[in-house]
Amino acid sequence: MLKKIIFQFLALSLIFAYSAQSAESGGMPQLNPEFWISQIFWLVLTFGLLFIILSKFILPKISNNLETRKSQILENIETADKQREETEKKVKEFDKIINDTKVEAKNFFNSERQKVLDDINNKRLSLEKDIEKEIIKAEEEIDQLKKTSQEKITKIAIETSSDLVKQLIGEDINKSSLSAIVEDLSKKEMEKHNGI
């Protein structure tokens, strides 16, 4: 520091000495005091005006611009964050809805299948009952038919045999004796047929 100062003083004194020596022969125009006052005056005027205009009008605008940009960027980042969060929430909701619907659909499908199965079962049961009833009825009918058919067969046999006898002999035969014979024969025939 001290070295620098001494050096500067030396340089200054050298400059002054040089200027004093060569003031007439041109030398350094910087050390000619003719326009010093003018330079100071114009420096103060221009620099003062520059400072006033910059500090009052231009710099506040620039700093304002910078501030607004900063706050705008921060705001935008904030809204972007908010929207991202909202999106995540929405995505979660969407997933939840999809899951719920899947479960619901499964449940619905299961219950419907159960219903259909029950229905089919019920219908089958009732159908089976009906069929059994029909079978029983049919069996009864068959039984009855068996009984009635034998009597009818006997009757028809008696009548045909009496007609046959009449045609063969030309005489009426006692019906009761004929019927006894036919019944006896048919019984034998039936036993033979039934394998008894």
Partner 1 sequence: MAANPMYQFNVYRIGPEIKINNIDISFTNASLFMVISSLAILIIFNLGTKRSIIPNKIQLLAELSYSFISKMISDTAGSKAKPYFSFIFSLFMFVLFCNMFGMIPYSFTVTSHIIVTFVLAAFIFIGVTIIGFIKHGLGYLKLFVPSGVPMVLLPLIVVIEIISYLSRPISLSVRLFANMMAGHTMMKVFGGFVVSLGIVGGWLPLGFSVALTGLEILVAFLQAYVFAILTCIYLNDALNLHH
Name residue, tokens 């048919």: 186
Q: Which of 10, 17, 18, 55 binds partner 1 (CB under 8 A)?
A: 55
Footprint on residues 61-120 left by partner 1 (CB under 8 A): 61-63, 65-66, 68-69, 72
Picking from 179, 192, 188, 191, the residue whose alpha carbon sits closest to that of residue 151 is 179
Residue 28, by phi and psi: left (phi above 0), alpha (psi -120 to 50) or beta?
beta
* Distance separating the N- and C-terminal Cα atoms of the chain: 152
How far is the C-alpha of 33 from the C-alpha of 36, rounded, in Å?
5
Tokens linked to 13 = 């004194």
Nearer to partner 1 by Cβ, of 57 and 168: the residue is 57
Give least dist CB 2 to partner 1, A: 6
Nearer to partner 1 by Cβ, of 72 and 107: the residue is 72
For position 3 contacting partner 1 by CB under 8 A, the verdict is: no
Q: Which of 10, 12, 91, 103 binds partner 1 (CB under 8 A)?
A: 12
Picking from 150, 144, 160, the residue whose alpha carbon sits closest to that of residue 183 is 150
Q: Which of 10, 20, 23, 43 binds partner 1 (CB under 8 A)?
A: 43
Give the length of the chain.
Answer: 196
For position 47 contacting partner 1 by CB under 8 A, the verdict is: yes
For CA atoms 39, 45, 46, 51, the dihedral sign is positive
Residue 195, by phi and psi: left (phi above 0), alpha (psi -120 to 50) or beta?
left
Give least dist CB 98 to partner 1, A: 40
Nearer to partner 1 by Cβ, of 6 and 173: the residue is 6
Q: Which of 18, 41, 108, 109 binds partner 1 (CB under 8 A)?
A: 41
For position 39 contacting partner 1 by CB under 8 A, the verdict is: yes
The footprint of partner 1 (CB under 8 A) covers 1-2, 4-5, 8-9, 11-12, 26-32, 34-44, 46-47, 49-51, 53-55, 57-59, 61-63, 65-66, 68-69, 72
